[in-house]
Each structure stands twice: as structure tokens, then as C-alpha cells.
Amino acid sequence: MGQTATRTLRADAERSVRAILEAAERVLAEDPGASMEQIAAAAGVARTTIHRRFANRQALVETLAASAARQLAQAVEDGRPDTAPPLVAMHRITANVLEVKSAWAFALELPADPDSEAAVLHQDIARRCIAVLERARADKLIDEAADLDWVRRVYYALLRESLQDNAAAADPDALAARIIDTLLHGAGPRA
């Protein structure tokens, strides 16, 4: 088999896996007990294809969680957390994360085994979040006495709440501005 044929097979396999994961997100969000066969049907692949790619339902769910966590980590990285000015990084990261979370809400809410790839990625994302908040505190955007782990948890809650109603129709940039404004200024009157 030539190199072109091998690349074509790999590309086909990647498309197949991507279709399965996208279908799994949709189907499992509606029915967490859905079968592999239901997911295969939604993905437009044969039942044997899904079983060839994933040994069992748990392997599919773990792959789904890891894939969504990788996309979330990339969304954070694309916001340039280490190099953009803190306020710019916070806005970019928030808009990026909102887009990923709205597309992969089911997968990102799955409880992860502490040793799983998804859990490791979520821990790294939390660490990166704290680093951006430290940079924001150094720029006097956050009070120097603020507990940054608490600020991170409040930020996560704002993200979650903002996606509750009509997330697909919401403008990520407008929501990001609202989240960052609420995080940094609260709901009190402006000075």
C-alpha cells in the first residue's frame, strides 16, 4: 500500500472517529443511557465500525471526555494566557471556552477518573486559570487579598451559568465581556 493510500485510510479513520464522537455528544446529552448502536446510527457508521474503534461503551465515553478536554485546553492556549495582557487573555479564553463548552457540554461534565487524560487536562486548565488570575492581580485587576482559587471557582460558575439558557444562540464575545465584567466588578454600583 502506498503512502497516499495509507494517508487516505488514516484520514477516513479520523473522520469516522470524529463523526462517532460528535454523535456520541449529541445522543448521550439527550439520553445518557443510549447504546453504542444508537450512537453508530447517529454517526452514520456501521455498528461494526463503532465496535472496531472502541472496545466498549466506557472506552467511547473516556475518549469523548478526553477529546473534549483537549479541545478545552486548546481553547485556553489559543487565548494566549502567558503572553497576552491579562484582561485580553481573560476575554479571549472565556470566549473560546464558551464555544467549546457549548459544543461539548455533556462530555465536559463527565466525572473523570483521577488518572485519566481528561482529569490531567482539567487540572492543567485550572492551573493555567490561576496563573492568568495571578497576572490579573499583578495588574491590579483583582484585589491583592483575593483568594484566587475562590475567584477561579466563581469564574467557572459564571461560565456554567451563562451556558444554561440558549447557549447556541449566544454571542461568545458578548457573554465573555459580561462574565469578565461580573467577575472583576461584581453587581455593585460603579464608582
pLDDT in tens, 158-190: 999 998 875 556 789 999 999 999 999 988 777
Q: What is the per-residue pLDDT across 140-164, written as a single tens digit (0 to 9) for each?
A: 999 999 999 999 999 999 999 998 8
Rounded to two decimals, what is the model's pTM? 0.86
| pLDDT at res. 16 | 85
Instruction: Please write down the HEC assignment for all residues of the chain.
Output: CCHHHHHHHHHHHHHHHHHHHHHHHHHHHHCCCCCHHHHHHHHCCCHHHHHHHCCCHHHHHHHHHHHHHHHHHHHHHHCCCCCCCHHHHHHHHHHHHHHHHHHCHHHHCCCCCCCCHHHHHHHHHHHHHHHHHHHHHHCCCCCCCCCHHHHHHHHHHHHHHHCCCCHHHCCHHHHHHHHHHHHHHCCCCCC
